[in-house]
Amino acid sequence: MKEWKSEMLAVSRAGHDKDTLYVVLDSDETYLWLADGKRRLLAKPKKKKRRHAQVITHLPQELLEQMRVITLDAHVRKILGNYQKLQEN
């Protein structure tokens, strides 16, 4: 099983998944590979153009620690849930 290291989240700004929060698993100059742990799993991440997503790079340290090594879809769901809880407060 591949281990992913991530330090970014992204919100989809276009397409049928508009306003969906994702963990950015990988990126290059044009594309992001995204997973949410429910519809888009680590085994088959979504490939989305950067211009169609808003990247979130300023994250609390506690979330960054959770994102160091992601091996399960449950880890992705927990990270996204914790981020949404922090945004509500």
Q: Does the pLDDT at position 1 exceed 70?
A: no
| Residue 18 in domain | yes
The confidence score (pLDDT) of residue 3 equals 66
Please give the tally of structural domains in the chain.
1
pLDDT digits (tens, 9 = 90+) for 3-43: 667 789 999 999 999 999 999 999 989 999 999 999 999 99
The pTM (predicted TM-score) of the whole model is: 0.90
Indicate whether 4 belongs to any domain: no
Question: Do the domain assignments include residue 3?
Answer: no
Domain that holds residue 56: 9-88
Q: What is the CATH number of the domain that holds 27?
A: 2.30.30
DSSP string, 15-44: STTTT-EEEEEEE-SSEEEEE-SSSS-TTS
